[in-house]
């Protein structure tokens, strides 16, 4: 068989990729691509298109460098982090602050429920939203 094409050496991250990661490092709250794009637009140093922000975030998520969460309205939120198996969060619908929690009991119940009814390929969505104390006081 012909030799597979030699894998390209990992390229050093571009300035824009670094900028997105840097923006993410700025907070452990979950933020949308659009929010991040706005933040980056503030910085006069960098000029980056919304499309690129989306693409970089998508790549970071693929690499598990960033984790994602669904916002209350269905938008995708990102933050750096926990490559560990996805956990669930109570997150502030306003600022994206996240409080993790476990659902061991529920997961067990649902696995059993699925088994009993013969459902396969189970996936779940368990998200809590609220207003954190800080955002509550405006």
Which DSSP category does 6 fall into? Answer: P
Q: How would you list the strands of the sheet with 31-32, edge to edge?
A: 31-32, 76-80, 66-70
47 neighbors 15 (Cβ within 8 angstroms): no
Stretch that binds DNA, among 3-11, 89-97, 115-123, 124-132 (CB under 7 A): 3-11
User: Which option in DNA, a second copy, none does residue 12 bind, with CB closer than 5 to 8 A by kind?
Assistant: DNA
Of the candidates 21, 27, 29, 32, which one interacts with DNA according to CB under 7 A? Answer: 32
* Smallest distance from DNA to CB 115, Å: 30
Q: Does 82 bind DNA (CB under 7 A)?
A: no
From CA 41, how far away is CA 16, in angstroms rounded? 12
From CA 57, how far away is CA 112, in angstroms rounded? 35
The continuous run of DSSP H or E covering 32 comes out as strand 31-32
Of the candidates 29, 38, 52, 114, which one interacts with DNA according to CB under 7 A? Answer: 52
106 neighbors 68 (Cβ within 8 angstroms): no
What residues line the site for a second copy (CB under 8 A)? Answer: 70, 72, 74, 90, 92, 99, 101, 103, 105-106, 109-110, 113-114, 117-133, 136
Of the candidates 22, 25, 28, 34, which one interacts with DNA according to CB under 7 A? Answer: 34
List the structure tokens of 48: 């980056």
- Which is closer to a second copy, CB of 38 or CB of 94? 94
- Give the footprint of DNA on this chain (CB under 7 A): 8-9, 11-12, 14-17, 32-34, 47-52, 54-56, 58, 73-76
């Amino acid at each position: 068989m012909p030799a597979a094409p030699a894998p390209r050496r990992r390229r050093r991250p571009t300035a824009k990729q670094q900028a997105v990661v840097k923006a993410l490092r700025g907070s452990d709250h979950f933020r949308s691509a659009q929010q991040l794009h706005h933040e980056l637009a503030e910085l006069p140093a960098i000029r980056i298109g919304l499309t690129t922000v989306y693409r970089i975030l998508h790549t970071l998520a693929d690499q598990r460098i960033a984790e994602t969460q669904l916002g209350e309205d269905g938008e995708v939120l990102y933050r750096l982090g926990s490559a560990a198996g996805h956990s669930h969060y109570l997150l502030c619908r306003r600022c994206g602050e996240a409080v993790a929690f476990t659902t061991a009991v529920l997961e067990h119940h649902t696995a059993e429920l699925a088994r009993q009814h013969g459902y396969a390929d189970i996936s779940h969505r368990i998200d809590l939203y609220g207003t954190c104390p800080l955002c509550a006081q405006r």
